[in-house]
Amino acid sequence: MEKFVVSAIKYRPLSFASVVGQATIGATLKNAIQRGHLSHAYLFCGPRGVGKTTCARIFAKTINCLNPDADMEACGKCESCRSFSEGRSYCIHELDAASNNSVDDIRTLVEQVRIPPQVGKYSVYIIDEVHMLSPAAFNAFLKTLEEPPSYAIFILATTEKHKIIPTILSRCQIYDFNRITVDDTVAHLKNIARQEGVTCEPDALNIIARKADGAMRDALSIFDRVVSFCGNSVTYSAVIDDLNVLDYDYYFKLTDALLAHNYVESYMIFDEILKKGFDAQHFVSGLSSHFRDILVCKDVKTISLLEVGQVIAERYRQQAAVCSVDFLFEALNITNKCEMDYKISNNQRLLVELTLLNLSYIGTEKKNEPAEHNGQAAIKSAPAEHSVINKKPETAVPIPEVPKSISLKNMLPEVKEAKTENSVSRIAEEKSFDEEKLIREWRSFAENIQSKLPRLSSRLLEHTPKLVAENLIQYPVISEQHRMQMEERADSLVKHLKETLSSSIVVEWVVKAADTGDSEKTRLYTLQDKINHITSENSAIAGIIKDLDLDYR
């Protein structure tokens, strides 16, 4: 029996053109080779399985190729290319930083860099998972990375760029690899399936691509597993069984039940899903994604965001035609809230069932008659096929008529008149205060806050407020800064005066210049004034400030 080789190794790209989903990076690297603009250090970063190490090997092979073609692809026939393909090249070195992350490992690498290449122009050092290096190893690597020999090129690869220290990042040309799209993954899997003689349904390959989540290596591993399960005929049903993927059909049937306001059917579908071993949180997350996919099908501009096969896409378009945008918005809000509350819920199944119940009642709210007309409590409308109100029982139980509610507004008009009279008298009382009462309330407030806000209290007691007009109070302050501070901090005072005197009171903080005779008392002392006063009283302090060159600013 011929030895089996996994697809991820068997179909590993050997040229830039065969790398899936990274055409821009491939074109940039080929242009750099053609123009001779090669950097001494590169950093390839991105998710797993998107071709970082593969591109590093192709790049190292191409720059050492003795006869590259016009498109800057390695010929594959020269001695350098053959030695690389056979794993005996002394020009290309690979290091796994996950297991060689110490200072001693980097020192060994630095010693190896001193040896020039035997075949080819460059010695290329590919360091995979470089973020695993220790801080000390990074520091030991800095000098060599910044000024390597002319023949040495470093290619660093990582999935976690944020873990690499900035001094390393600044010395590298950084290339960010993208996740591989579902369409590109499906196209590549179709090509491999054709070479392997395997027939695959398009929707089955789409499930594999979505399960891989943008990683081609994962997609190829899943493909090998599915082929082992299905043989040479890969079907959609077999793939979802093998990968334990929740079928789209469940979500379509559930949405139909929710649109029909049939919560019983939605409960039965959810129970069937749980019996098949699926996690309830995974179900809710999938339901949110399903509503999102229906929403993007509502407009031709967003339908390209739908990453499913043609058969499934047609079902989405059909269901989108019967779903309103309002229903989808509210459904997404409900499912999103369920996802957030799921982990903290003590009864998670009940939480999901309540979510389904809320979803089934979207759009069923009816305008009930006002309660004062019939005296009966408003009953939320239930689905027609499950509502006991719509059924005709054999013996109807008579419901006693509830008398209409009594209007106190009509029976007690004197209450309204009394309230109006009291309001008028209260307003009149609010306006009847004099300056003596104002000063009394002002000082009472200032004294009450003395323990909590001593500075504000002292400022309020420093002068006497003046009642300059009806409900207009003025209080002097010594500067514009004080005025702004009082406007910000004296809200509680104004509130107190409005409650005790009049609700229409206005307090103005008026900036007034200090009297000439009292200028020393009211003047604000600066920090320089205070230092001058202290040093004039004690010459030793002045000497200390001078000797120690102290800065008091």
Check which CATH number belongs to the domain holding 199 and give it: 1.10.8.60
Establish if 330 belongs to a structural domain: yes
Res. 409: pLDDT tops 80: no
Q: How many domains does the chain have?
A: 5
The whole-number pLDDT of residue 485 equals 77
Establish if 425 belongs to a structural domain: no
The whole-number pLDDT of residue 73 equals 87
Residue type, 226: V
The whole-number pLDDT of residue 365 equals 61
Q: Are strands 472-477 and 466-469 parallel, antiparallel or unpaired?
A: antiparallel
Establish if 365 belongs to a structural domain: no
Question: 265 with 346, same domain?
Answer: yes
How far apart (Å, rounded) are the C-alpha atoms in residues 146 and 123? 16
Question: 166 with 41, same domain?
Answer: yes
Establish if 313 belongs to a structural domain: yes
> For 444-468, how does the pLDDT look when each residue is reduced to its tens digit (9 = 90+)?
888 888 887 887 888 888 888 888 8
H or E stretch covering 20: none
Question: 189 with 237, same domain?
Answer: yes
Res. 518: pLDDT tops 80: no
From the list 259, 280, 287, the residue with the least C-alpha distance to 362 is: 259
- The reported pTM is 0.59
Structure tokens that stand for 487 in this block:
């406007």
Picking from 336, 360, 384, the residue at the C-terminal end of a domain is 360
How far apart (Å, rounded) are the C-alpha atoms in residues 47 and 308? 22
Question: 528 with 506, same domain?
Answer: no
Which CATH number is 508's domain given? 3.30.300.180
CB of 91 closer than 8 Å to CB of 80: yes
> For 111-169, how does the pLDDT look when each residue is reduced to its tens digit (9 = 90+)?
888 888 877 789 999 999 999 999 899 988 988 888 888 899 999 999 999 999 998 99
The whole-number pLDDT of residue 504 equals 79
> For 473-497, how does the pLDDT look when each residue is reduced to its tens digit (9 = 90+)?
888 888 777 777 787 777 888 888 8
The whole-number pLDDT of residue 381 equals 42
Q: Which residue has the tokens 């991820």?
A: 8
Question: 52 with 172, same domain?
Answer: yes
Q: How far apart are the first and last CA of the chain?
A: 87
Question: 307 with 346, same domain?
Answer: yes
> For 285-338, how does the pLDDT look when each residue is reduced to its tens digit (9 = 90+)?
999 999 999 999 988 888 888 888 788 888 899 999 999 999 999 999 999 999
The whole-number pLDDT of residue 484 equals 79
Q: Can you spell out the DSSP letters for 84-133?
A: HHTT--SSEEEEETTT--SHHHHHHHHHHHTSPPSSSS-EEEEEETGGGS
Q: Which residues contact 161 (CB under 8 A, 6 or more apart)?
A: 43, 45, 131, 169, 174
Domain boundaries, position 193: 182-242
Establish if 408 belongs to a structural domain: no
- The stretch 392-401 carries a mean pLDDT of 44
Establish if 152 belongs to a structural domain: yes
> For 203-216, how does the pLDDT look when each residue is reduced to its tens digit (9 = 90+)?
889 889 988 888 89
Establish if 276 belongs to a structural domain: yes
Q: Which residues contact 210 (CB under 8 A, 6 or more apart)?
A: 182, 307, 308
CA angle 182, 187, 188 (to 5 degrees): 100
The whole-number pLDDT of residue 380 equals 42
